[in-house]
Amino acid sequence: MWVGGEVLSEIIGHVDSRDRPIVSLTLPGQDDNLLVIVDTGFNGQLLIRDSDAARLNCGSARVELTVEMADRRSRVLKRARGSIFWFGRQRNVDVWLSADTHRAALPEEPIGLLGTSLLSPHRLTIDFATRRVVIDEHNG
């Protein structure tokens, strides 16, 4: 994803009506974007339902891990590799896949979580007053 022939220096999102910080990720070879919630309590890169894994061209999941979720329930997640555009450059990322236990996402509803491993070393600004989310490269 190039803007004016230059690599992006920031990713802009919004705070939705439920006060969740949302950003849109561009996916290689896809016409639609992936809406995700920025979750600073999640220390992975991306977490999505396994039914959405094909959208990120995820390979087969080889690693399984039992984790404790925010609601204190344990869940078995699988780890795969996927691809997104991050600051205008294609990047391979670790994608944690969760079993489909909920209804399908509605249009314009986020379908995953973006965690701190993908945010670091960038700067995240969530401005609830203006409903704006900015992730910038913060080079110093």
More confident residue, 100 or 64: 64
Whole-structure pTM value: 0.84
pLDDT value at 100 more than 90:
no
CATH numbers and ranges of domains, the chain:
25-121 (2.40.70)
Largest CA distance in the chain: 46
Closest CA to 20 of 133, 120, 98, 104: 133
Return the closest-CA partner of residue 71 out of 34, 45, 102: 102
Q: What pLDDT digit, counting tens, does each position of 17-38 carry?
A: 999 999 999 988 888 889 999 9
- What is the band of 128 on the pLDDT scale with cuts at 50, 70, 90? very high
- The reported pLDDT for the residue numbered 53 is 82
Q: The tokens of 40 are what?
A: 């600073």
Segments in the chain forming alpha helices (H): 116-119
Query: Tokens 């780890």, residue?
Result: 79
Q: Are strands 21-25 and 89-98 parallel, antiparallel or unpaired?
A: unpaired
Confidence of residue 7 (pLDDT cuts 50, 70, 90): low
What does the pLDDT read at residue 16? Answer: 95
Whole-number pLDDT of residue 2: 41
